[in-house]
Amino acid sequence: MRSAAKQSIMVLALGLALVAAPLTPAAASPASPPPTSDAPVDGQLVDGGVQTPQPTATTPPTSDVTPAPVEPSPQPQPSLPPVVDAPVESSAPGEGATPTPTPVVTVPPTPLPPVPSAIPESRPSGARTAQCYGSSSIDYLCGGGYLGRHLAGWNVLNHGVGSIGPVAIGTIAGVYQTALARAVTIPSSGAVNLGNVTGLPIDSRTLGRIIFDVEIAGVAGQITHYPDLADTSLHWKFTRHGSGSAVYAGVGTAINSLEKPQPGSTSVLWVGANGIEDMQRVKDVISGIVEAGNRVGATSYVIQLPPRWDFSNPLNHNRHQVNDWIRATYGERAIPLADYLSNGALVDAGRVPSASDRETIAMGLNPRSFWMAPDDTTHMNAVGMNVAGRYLARWVNEGYTYSQAVLRFDVNSTAAIRVEGSRVTVSGHAFDLSDLYATIPVGITVDGAWSALTASSPSPQLGSYGVPGQHGYTAAFDLQPGSHEVCTVGIGFGAGQHSYPPCQTVVVAKQAAPLGSMAIADAPSRTKAIYGWTYGPSAPGRSLPVAILVDGSWHHLVAADRPSGYLSGVPGQHAFFTAAAFTPGNHTVCAVAIESSTNMANLGCQVFTIK
């Protein structure tokens, strides 16, 4: 095996050589076009920039309705309406199993995924539950049914809301325990304005529009926050579910989210594209939701943030730092969606990467084929959402892990070595799963001496395993007798690792000199025909080159590859025939068979005179 240092040298040398339907107002419905970009609506102002009025002990009970206070009575918690999934598009070819690199050119079969079935109108009681937290992207994914269609038998609850940041996401998930800033009386039915709330780390006016289910003083209902209304007393409104007795709720009464992680559920978090300016807050919200899930035995998966800005935007630095933190903190439950979308998702979606796809990927963006609109590089269209939904479902339903996922990005290459006499032939295939239609380079070292070529020859053996394109390669070396180490590396260009098939040691035996003979014959116009036969006993099937020397100097090379049936028991074709013109005078013609640079044989010389 090569050491890590040797592998690194090989790669360096090649581099030199190849110089969510959301519970929100209709404006945020997944059926409506998304904003071209989600404004980071929270976490951007200095916390406490606007002071929240705090009620005093003399504050009288007030609300928009004033029946006499009554003792709170427990109310049943509501259940969210079932998610109705969008129609199912045609199934795209599934993710292929990666062939294991070996010295033999073989690839295991690639199973196709089952074709998605139609989604029922409602989920069976007792179904497993997946909860989605985040902004518009998770809203479209879960609210739009793109995750649910790949989770048969699961109840997918969408808690995503478009155009919100991490604090709003954390508020919906119960990370921030909010409370009433003033006393209110919850009416027997209908809504009540709450004024403001306490418990948020930022001014609630920067929170964005949100809507989620809560419980206040034992009454379940829905809270809406409309920070864009001029009258701040109307910013927070609570609408109870159903009807019942009016209930008084005093100052400081807790507002308990009913959308926090449920016991035994599975949470999928896509947090941070908005508000990425404050990386610590993004981390705090993700940590808070995961910890809340841990307390009730819920499983959490955290999505690494896909591209939203190209490489030139400094916010990409924050995105990469948050993604590194997600991987380091959540390990096998980190979902590398960011890398997947640019490394294999197009093929899984049944698309051939276009020039514009490759260009946008090179810019640090999602593939152009997944954009929802020409000017929207953030949100994905139905093709992108469907392939992303199928990908995430593997974690939720199959226990897929980060380590398994990143193998999907790696280069696959093989190396088979054949020794015939002094010639050593290295052949195999090499392809990058990031783009199966692209060719990649292969580096070969023989005793440390570097050479490189592109794996672009026909590779029909891969077609039956769902690998398109041309990915074969062959290289031949004439080596001296002795032991030689041959190593190869398939060089990738995407998120995965290069491929290092095991190095192999081959032995080239000392070769017997080539056998053969030559003769000349007269031809018109002072020309002589030169002919004969030759082969190497160590590799009799191979046709050898023959050098023609005239008067002691190199004249030309001819291949001994013509039929030679008269050589009984010798496989292959070994005859040669050529001609040369001469000036008057005495001349000498010799023929030399060449098996390698160290194994040649003079087949004879002829002296003659041209008049």
Same fold, 95-118+410-509 and 515-610: yes
Q: How confident is the model at residue 120 (pLDDT cuts 50, 70, 90)?
A: very low
Query: CB-based contacts of 79: which residues, under 8 Å, 6+ apart?
Result: none
Asked whether the beta carbons of 21 and 32 are under 8 A apart, the reply is: no
pLDDT tens for residues 504-557?
Answer: 999 998 888 999 999 999 998 899 999 999 999 988 999 999 999 999 999 999
Pick 207 or 42 by higher pLDDT. 207
Residue 45 has pLDDT above 60, yes or no: no
pLDDT tens for residues 201-259?
Answer: 999 888 889 999 999 999 999 999 998 888 888 899 999 999 999 999 999 999 999 99
Predicted local confidence at residue 79, as pLDDT = 36
Mean pLDDT of the 438-442 span: 93
Predicted local confidence at residue 216, as pLDDT = 98
Predicted local confidence at residue 232, as pLDDT = 81
Q: How confident is the model at residue 51 (pLDDT cuts 50, 70, 90)?
A: very low
Mean pLDDT of the 295-321 span: 88
Mean pLDDT of the 547-571 span: 94
Structure tokens at 349: 């979606």
Cα(491)–Cα(103) distance, integer angstroms: 17
List the beta bridge partners of residue 133.
269
> What's at 369, amino acid-wise?
S
Query: CB-based contacts of 179: which residues, under 8 Å, 6+ apart?
Result: 197, 198, 199, 252, 253, 254, 255
Parse the chain into domains and list their residue ranges: 95-118+410-509, 515-610
CATH topology of domain 95-118+410-509: Immunoglobulin-like (2.60.40)
Structure tokens at 497: 């690792």
pLDDT tens for residues 469-485?
Answer: 899 999 999 898 899 99
φ, ψ for residue 316 (rounded to 5)?
-60, -30
Least confident of 1-15, 269-283, 481-495: 1-15
Residue 22 has pLDDT above 50, yes or no: no
Cα(422)–Cα(507) distance, integer angstroms: 9
Helices (H), 314-470: 315-330, 337-342, 345-348, 355-362, 382-398, 402-407, 460-463
Domain spanning 515-610 has what CATH number?
A: 2.60.40.10
Q: How confident is the model at residue 500 (pLDDT cuts 50, 70, 90)?
A: very high
Structure tokens at 330: 């959540």
On the 0-12 / 13-18 / 19+ scale of CB atoms within 10 A, 111 is: exposed
pLDDT tens for residues 585-609?
Answer: 999 999 999 988 888 999 999 999 9
Pick 350 or 4 by higher pLDDT. 350
Residue 103 has pLDDT above 90, yes or no: no
Q: What is the DSSP string of 370-404?
A: GEEETTEEEEE-HHHHHHHHHHHHHHHHH---HHH
Residue 16: its H or E element: helix 4-17
* CA–centroid distance for 21 within its chain: 27
The sheet that has 527-535: what strands, in order across it?
515-523, 527-535, 575-581
Q: How many CA atoms lie within 13 A of 262 on its CB side?
A: 18
pLDDT tens for residues 253-300?
Answer: 999 999 999 999 999 999 978 889 999 999 999 999 999 999 999 999
φ, ψ for residue 279 (rounded to 5)?
-65, -35
Cα(220)–Cα(240) distance, integer angstroms: 6
Predicted local confidence at residue 65, as pLDDT = 35
